Amino acid sequence: MQESDSRYDFAQNHVMFNLQKLGDSCHEAMFILSQLSFGNYLNQPAFAAAAAQLPRPSQLDTKKIKYSDGETDFVLIHRRHGILVGELKSVGKSQACGKNPQPPADVNVAKRVIKAVKQLDRSETVVRHLVSDVSPGMTVRKTLFLPYVSTEQLERVLDNDPQLEKAVCQSLGAANAAEAVQLCCCSDQLSQPASYWHVTPAVLSQLSTWWQHRMACHVDTLLTDDKYLDIVARFVGPATTVSVPCYNGVRVEVRTAGQAVAELGRRLALLVLTLQQLDLMNRNPRLVYLTGPPGTG
């Protein structure tokens, strides 16, 4: 595992935990997907016939951009406020978790932000296309998650780079740098990285303010209960399977009874010894030798 992967995973868990606490405090249900690869969308062969009738990321592919190869860091599906697409950048994480936190250099923040904006615009294009048959005018908003960059620094970076400020404002739908920063989730709205699980009432207040600016200020009247369930079923139902790489191999996501039975059979097939044999191996003396002609075992 590279250090950059470790930083990103830590930042993702940090943001996800805070969003979970926000949902608990607001008593509102929402689905939050992380690291959604568009190539995995409706990828199960059993649903191929039905998926062929629905919008797919590959339909947007061009010679210059292959949308189906991309992914998005966060997709939040809310019943009343629509869909939120977010890009996460862990710039500043190594300094933020030290004993003497130091903010990342402005030039590093600018590089990550411009990259995040390009990824964000691409993700928003794909997600809007995927739900176009459900409701063409459905609200899809965008945000940047910068858990180790303060709002003050982000605003300074935008003020010092007019081109970057223009790109961020156009992407987020803001009039100026100050308004754009309000639509981003920065370190001011999140818990401390050294104890990210400790979400204080003050943090929840700041996070709720960001939520109000970005999502809660508008209710998507086009999103009915049936449409909401349809979207959730596509993104997190059995037709879309996500494989998560880990140290001991790929972890399989089990969503249906059939998948559970198949996974159980796969694991049983991997067993070399029976439970009785394992018990024998663990008795004292720990090793037991059986000798004899073929068939003795």
The predicted structure's pLDDT at residue 250: 66
Identify the band that residue 280 occupies on the pLDDT scale cut at 50, 70 and 90: confident
Sheet hosting strand 30-37, strand order edge to edge: 30-37, 71-78, 82-88, 140-146, 185-186
d(CA 178, CA 189): 15
Max Cα distance, the chain (Å)? 85
Whether cis (ω within 30° of 0) applies to the bond prior to 147 is: no
Q: What pLDDT score was predicted for residue 238?
A: 84
Q: Higher confidence at residue 127 or residue 243?
A: 127
251 DSSP 8-state letter: E
**Between 180 and 6, where is the model more confident?**
180
Residue of higher predicted confidence among 239 and 270: 239
DSSP run (H or E) holding 163: helix 162-172
In degrees and rounded to multiples of 5, residue 88 shows phi and psi of -110, 135
Who contacts 2 (Cβ-Cβ below 8 Å, separation ≥6)?
A: none
Residue type, 206: Q
For all residues of the chain together, what is the average pLDDT? 85
pLDDT of residue 247: 64
Encode pLDDT of 194-250 as tens digits. 888 889 999 999 999 999 999 888 888 888 889 999 999 888 888 887 766 666 666
**Residue 101 scores a pLDDT above 60:** no
What DSSP assignment string belongs to 116-140?
HHHHHHHHHHHHHHHTTTT-TT--E
- Quick check: 198 and 18 in contact, CB under 8 A? no
Distance CA 262, CA 160 (A): 56
Residue 97, pLDDT above cutoff 70: no
Amino acid at 247: Y
Could you give the 3-state DSSP secondary structure of residue 250?
A: strand
250-266 pLDDT, tens digit per residue, is 666 777 888 889 888 88
d(CA 288, CA 277): 10
What is the C-alpha radius of gyration for the chain, rounded to an integer number of angstroms?
Answer: 24
Nearest alpha carbon to residue 247 among 9, 12, 72? 9
Residue range 268-285: mean pLDDT, rounded: 77
| pLDDT value, residue 29 | 79
Q: Is the dihedral of CA 95, 97, 98, 103 positive or negative?
A: positive
Give domain limits for the chain.
Answer: 3-246
Contact 147/185 with Cβ under 8 angstroms? yes
Helix axes 3-26, 201-211, angle to 10 degrees: 90
Residue that is written with structure tokens 């159980």 in the block: 264
CA-to-CA distance for 201 and 116, rounded, in angstroms? Answer: 29
- For 76-93, the pLDDT digits (tens) are 999 888 899 999 998 887
pLDDT of 260: 87
Q: How far apart are CA 256 and CA 242, in angstroms?
A: 14
Based on the number of CB atoms within 10 Å of its own CB, is 192 exposed (0-12), middle (13-18) or buried (19 or more)? Answer: middle
